[in-house]
A and B are shown apart, each in its own frame.
Chain A
Amino acid sequence: MAYSDKVLDHYNNPRNVGSLDKKDPAVGTGLVGAPECGDVMKLQIKVNPETGVIEDAKFKTFGCGSAIASSSLATEMLKGKTVEEAMAIKNTELVNELSLPPVKIHCSVLAEDAIKAAIQDYKAKAPAPAPAATA
């Protein structure tokens, strides 16, 4: 099957590969997919607790080139967005940007799931925004 140039680019030069400290309260980790399905994505975000802005995002993916590209692109899109903005990211944005064929749409769906899982994990860890610290 032919891959789009953008998929090839992300596959050959994946952005933001790596891991953040999952014990850090500012870090949210999403782990989605299953090895037996041929796709597992780990996506992590690091949120600035003051501003709610995602300052860093990292991923590791076991999956086909389109799955790697979808998660790589997702980390790029996440950086600089607020958590609320990140919640609104749709898989179709990834599909369009990477020109994914119909048989690869599930890769973008998985990336969207990974984003949501990372945000949920972050929110679960950091209970409601803490009141301003008192002197």
Chain B
Amino acid sequence: MLKFPIYLDNHATTPMDPRVFEAMKPFFIEHFGNAASRNHAFGWEAEEAVEKARKQLAGLVGATAKEIVFTSGATESNNLALKGVAEMYAQKGNHIITAATEHKAVLDTCKRLEKHGVKVTYLPVRPDGLVDLDMLKDAFTDKTILVSIMYGNNEIGTIQPIREIGALCRERGALLHTDATQAVGKIPVNVIADNIDLMSFTGHKMYGPKGVGALYVRRKNPRVQLTAQMDGGGHERGMRSGTLNVPGIAGFGEAAAIAQAEMEQEMARSLALRHKLQAAIEAELDEVYINGTMEHRLPHNLNISFAYVEGESLLMGINDIAVSSGSACTSATLEPSYVLKALGAGDDLAHSSIRFGIGRFTTEEEIDYTAGKIIEVVKKLRELSPLYEMVKEGIDLSKVEWTAH
């Protein structure tokens, strides 16, 4: 039995796994202690839960427990990594390299740092969404202290060559931060093998709770230091003050343990569902374009542009399916997704895009229904589309003189 609406927006957030919820429950009412209380059992219980979670998270990403700093989420982790490094290493240099397709939590943090004298290079990406390593090589200066490139993209699911980027950073004596929010728990990520120095990730993208995230901070080869951005009791080895969110952290840890145990089968399952969705759509509709490389891609992501159909009207037609569109006709500027624009897709195709995010609880039945509905609505909207009609008449849309508004 299908239950509506169908949730296929797992890049925005994931539903909590009931096993995670069970792991959190004791830490609300029964074991409510402050993990920083050192002189009674309430504190010890809380601390034990936090340390268990720290080990679970470290295990998932190949780190040691002491390298995990708990935060409120990946946005805070990104802010702490970039601002903390910029401040700590200001004597060494003032140049950061990032990419145009990063999340706003990185881009806007960079913009703020620029106001404080930091120089930032925003690398363009190739049409397949990946960073060009030669371009990265050329972007280094002797002032480069940090490179921040995301692991898996939140819109198009492209997986950057982090290992190679990390190796380049090593050569040039710069640190590598990666926003791995969409990747950790979904694909194998290993901070040692991937040459990562700092890494942001969060609970709610891996079937854990919202409001809890982590920053991996390398302690050896090299030992990374950060200037704290939150002052207070000196929690988290002085890097992030604030009483720890014990139930959230317990849940985050459990989510990591489950993800690690089930990753292989979950990846295969997501891939199979994605193949099915893509094949069904491509069998019935012409002029559909996949955004971003299919070769290096998160297994649960599919981002498709349906040419000559505007994304928001498509969403309206499939309102019993929760997905997200790269079109932002709701904003005054009518700006479509900056990520798709960075691929050079053309604004018209960016306006026509839908992001599907398959999750742990997505069923085959839901995928079948979604494919059928998408096909039906795209066909209907193309009947309505003057662009589709013009193309079928043989008109080259790029030669038409449009009245931009």
Contacts and interface: CB of A to CB of B under 8 A. Distances in A.
A109 B312 CA distance: 18
A24 B316 CA distance: 35
B80 to A, nearest CB: 33
Interface in A81-111: 103-104, 106, 109-110
A35 interface: yes
A35 B405 contact: no
Contacts of A131: none
Interface string B312-349: 11001100000000010111101010000000001110
A11 B389 CA distance: 19
Give the interface size class of chain B.
Answer: 20 to 34
A35 B384 contact: no
B309 A62 contact: yes
Contact of A31 (B309, B347, B386): B386
B384 A103 contact: no
A77 to B, nearest CB: 19
Interface in B371-390: 383-389
B316 A33 contact: no
A3 B351 CA distance: 19
Given A35-B351, A110-B405, A11 B310 contact: no
Give the interface size class of chain A.
Answer: 20 to 34
B316 A11 contact: yes
A19 to B, nearest CB: 7
Contact of B316 (A38, A42, A65): A65
B4 interface: no
A107 B311 CA distance: 15
A61 B329 CA distance: 14
Nearest to A1: B330
Contacts of A1: 330
Contacts of B403: 32-34, 113
Given A17-B383, A68-B313, 11 more contacts: A3-B316, A11-B313, A14-B384, A19-B389, A31-B386, A36-B347, A36-B348, A38-B329, A38-B347, A68-B384, A103-B331
Interface of B: 308-313, 316-317, 327, 329-332, 334, 336, 346-348, 351, 383-389, 397, 402-405
Q: 5 smallest A-B Cβ distances: which pairs? A: A36-B347, A34-B402, A35-B348, A42-B386, A64-B312
